[in-house]
């Protein structure tokens, strides 16, 4: 990798030899080709990554398989637990560097990436406790004779982790943590727009004592390295986060060897505000439910259903709130919203904004690319559309940008019908002071997570997952470890 000079450039970025991480060491892609990644705040080239292809994926899978069958399989639950505690300490010590890498790579403000520290460390500790919890059951049987019957759980093997660009700092840990806890090994394919923190983490894991081959990283394009991982016949499970379209391709590719899948895909989540809500909380809650991470969050509450009698007041306050969100250089600690991840994403989001206006929605606030000192970066203003209807493109397709669509409703039944009129089912929220309305909404919204008088709160111990086209498989909670294990029934005959 090579990097343009940035005041606080992490040394890791300046090392041209750190390309693919396979079997505990760095190597170049077999093709020798590189891909450029840009700093979205400046548009300048940030690093050159190895363009891994199927042959590199194959090497990484072989290393992961050898580690799985080799010394790693001898680690007891207690040893994996102790290792995760060491990993926790190493990541803790290096977190500022990792946060800086994500900020430079994908544009999330430092205020956000640094704040992710607690969450990442909690995830590692959570997985450490799970390593002692790969439990089977002894089950009374009705077989004729003298039998003991039980179930045991065993690691599935090699797990492919396909990571998106919108939060690799955290996203990678759902896969690495589960693998280290269960005894699986992993090959990670980070997104081409945000690979750096994943590469650096793999190196740090080796320092922490994770044996070579247990965690491997192959960078490259989704259609090449990603597709090769998804269809590799010696990968036992894929944990994928990304778009629904790619999720479908991963499902098809998994058929080759019946891979297990965990898919967290797109969303178009409803956020429903009733007239009786505490608007002082609902306005910032709904706004940041979309503007956080510049709207690049899978469960962002982008369809904002507002009861008609408060529509005008709510939109006015929402637009005013949007103007208070500080957008700018993500390295400035006071900035709340950075650029979009890439030029491609910038044009995609601006295209949706044009389409919203063309289809008759009212642009109430924002809507433009930022100019002046920020014109080289991929910045879009916090944007609010009013008078949207649920059939418009901006209400149906995932924009993945800071764009809210306000859709009015009159009754609770109508709100629920519109909220569920979507292919997606990732998240949803209701703001109300009426317990009957709350009850109707929390049971009625068809999604993997429902928030009441808050937005986007996710507890590791509870976890979350998708419904409908938003995917399947649970992340977090006591079920998290189960995704990395298969179950075996054992029957012992004493006669």
Give the C-alpha separation, 298 to 464, whole Å.
Answer: 12
Catalytic residue chosen out of the listed positions 127, 231, 298, 398:
298
Total residues at the site for ligand NAD (CB under 6 A)?
Answer: 25
Nearest-approach distance from CB 65 to ligand NAD, in angstroms: 20
Q: Is 122 in the site for ligand NAD (CB under 6 A)?
A: no
Name the 3-class secondary structure at 449: strand
Show Cβ contacts of residue 437 under 8 Å, excluding neighbours closer than 6 positions.
274, 276, 412, 430
Q: Which contacts (CB < 8 Å, 24+ apart) does range 22-26 have?
A: 22/56, 22/59, 22/60, 22/63, 22/216, 22/217, 22/218, 23/59, 23/60, 23/63, 23/66, 23/67, 23/212, 23/213, 23/216, 24/206, 24/211, 24/212, 24/213, 25/212
Q: Please give the residues from 290 up to 309 whose contact with ligand NAD meets the rule CB under 6 A.
A: 298
The dihedrals phi and psi of 438, each to the nearest 5 degrees, come to -55, -45
Q: Is 56 in the site for ligand NAD (CB under 6 A)?
A: no
From residue 258 to residue 287, what is the string marking binding to ligand NAD with x (rule CB under 6 A)? ------xxx---------------------
For the chain, helix, strand, coil in percent to 5 are: 40, 20, 40
Give the C-alpha separation, 241 to 466, whole Å.
Answer: 11
Q: CB-wise, 164 or 177, nearer to ligand NAD?
A: 164
Among 350, 398, 416, 460, binds ligand NAD (CB under 6 A): 398
* Neighbouring C-alpha atoms within 13 Å toward the C-beta of 237: 24
Task: Check if the beta carbon of residue 207 is closer than 8 Å to that of residue 84.
Answer: no
Q: Is 182 in the site for ligand NAD (CB under 6 A)?
A: no
Q: Is 134 an annotated catalytic residue?
A: no
Q: CB-wise, 345 or 390, nearer to ligand NAD?
A: 345
Q: Is 68 in the site for ligand NAD (CB under 6 A)?
A: no
Nearest-approach distance from CB 202 to ligand NAD, in angstroms: 15
Among 90, 120, 214, 249, binds ligand NAD (CB under 6 A): 249
Among 34, 99, 163, 445, binds ligand NAD (CB under 6 A): 163
Q: CB-wise, 191 or 406, nearer to ligand NAD?
A: 191
Q: Which residue sits closest to ligand NAD, CB atoms considered? A: 222
**240 strand-pairing partners:** 162, 263
**To which H or E segment does residue 473 belong?**
none
Nearest-approach distance from CB 165 to ligand NAD, in angstroms: 6
Which is it for the CA torsion 384, 387, 393, 396, positive or negative? positive
Give the C-alpha separation, 412 to 169, whole Å.
Answer: 38
Stretch that binds ligand NAD, among 42-50, 59-67, 187-195, 308-316 (CB under 6 A): 187-195
Nearest-approach distance from CB 53 to ligand NAD, in angstroms: 13
Among 79, 82, 133, 243, binds ligand NAD (CB under 6 A): 243
Q: Is 350 in the site for ligand NAD (CB under 6 A)?
A: no
Lookup result for tokens 């990993």: 87
DSSP state of 480: T
Name the 3-class secondary structure at 30: coil
Taking residue 491's Cβ as centre, other Cβ atoms within 10 Å add up to: 10
Give the C-alpha separation, 156 to 259, whole Å.
Answer: 10
Among 162, 187, 304, 335, binds ligand NAD (CB under 6 A): 162
Q: Is 205 in the site for ligand NAD (CB under 6 A)?
A: no
Q: Is 310 in the site for ligand NAD (CB under 6 A)?
A: no
Q: CB-wise, 311 or 470, nearer to ligand NAD?
A: 470
Among 99, 134, 175, 191, binds ligand NAD (CB under 6 A): 191
Q: Is 264 an annotated catalytic residue?
A: yes
Q: CB-wise, 400 or 451, nearer to ligand NAD?
A: 400
* Positions in the binding site for ligand NAD (CB under 6 A): 162-166, 189, 191-192, 222-223, 226-227, 230, 241-243, 246, 249-250, 264-266, 298, 398, 400
Query: What amino acid positions are annotated as catalytic residues?
Result: 264, 298
């Amino acid at each position: 990798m090579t990097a343009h000079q940035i005041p606080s450039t992490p040394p890791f970025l300046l090392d041209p030899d750190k390309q693919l991480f396979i079997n505990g060491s760095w190597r170049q892609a077999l093709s020798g080709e590189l891909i450029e990644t840009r700093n979205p705040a400046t548009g300048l080239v940030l690093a050159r990554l190895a363009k891994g292809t199927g042959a590199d994926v194959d090497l990484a899978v072989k290393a992961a398989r050898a580690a799985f069958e080799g010394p790693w399989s001898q680690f007891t639950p207690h040893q994996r637990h102790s290792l995760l505690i060491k990993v926790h300490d190493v990541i803790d010590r290096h977190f500022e560097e990792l946060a800086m890498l994500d900020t430079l790579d994908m544009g999330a403000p430092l205020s956000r990436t640094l704040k992710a520290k607690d969450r990442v460390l909690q995830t590692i500790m959570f997985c450490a406790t799970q390593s002692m919890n790969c439990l089977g059951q002894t089950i009374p049987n009705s077989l004729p004779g003298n039998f003991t019957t039980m179930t045991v759980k065993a690691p599935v093997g090699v797990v492919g982790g396909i990571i998106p660009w919108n939060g690799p700092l955290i996203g990678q840990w759902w896969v690495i943590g589960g693998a280290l806890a269960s005894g699986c090994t992993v090959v990670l394919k980070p997104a081409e727009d945000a690979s750096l923190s994943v590469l650096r983490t793999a190196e740090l894991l080796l320092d922490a004592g994770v044996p070579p081959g247990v965690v491997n990283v192959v960078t490259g394009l989704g259609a090449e390295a990603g597709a090769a991982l998804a269809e590799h016949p010696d990968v036992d499970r894929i944990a994928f986060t990304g778009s629904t379209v790619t999720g479908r391709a991963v499902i098809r590719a998994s058929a080759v060897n019946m891979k297990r899948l965990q898919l967290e895909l797109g969303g178009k989540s409803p956020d429903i505000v009733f007239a009786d809500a505490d608007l002082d909380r609902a306005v910032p809650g709904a706004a940041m439910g979309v503007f956080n991470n510049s709207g690049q969050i899978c469960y962002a509450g982008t369809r904002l259903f507002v009861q008609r009698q408060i529509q005008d007041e709510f939109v006015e306050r929402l637009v005013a709130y949007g103007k208070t969100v500080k957008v700018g250089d993500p390295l400035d600690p006071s900035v709340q919203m950075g650029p979009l991840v890439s030029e491609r994403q910038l044009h995609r989001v601006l295209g949706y904004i044009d389409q919203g206006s063309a289809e008759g929605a009212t642009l109430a606030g924002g809507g433009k690319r930022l100019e002046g000192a920020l014109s080289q970066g991929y910045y879009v203003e916090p944007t609010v559309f009013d008078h949207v209807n649920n059939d418009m493109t901006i209400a149906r397709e995932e924009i993945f940008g800071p764009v809210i669509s306000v859709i009015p409703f009159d009754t609770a039944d109508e709100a629920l019908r519109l909220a569920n009129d979507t292919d997606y089912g990732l998240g949803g929220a209701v703001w109300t002071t009426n317990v009957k309305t709350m009850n109707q909404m929390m049971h009625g919204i068809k999604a993997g997570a429902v928030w009441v008088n808050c937005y986007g709160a996710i507890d590791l111990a509870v976890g979350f997952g998708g419904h409908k086209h938003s995917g399947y498989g649970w992340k977090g909670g006591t079920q998290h470890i189960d995704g990395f294990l298969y179950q075996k029934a054992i029957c012992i005959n004493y006669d």
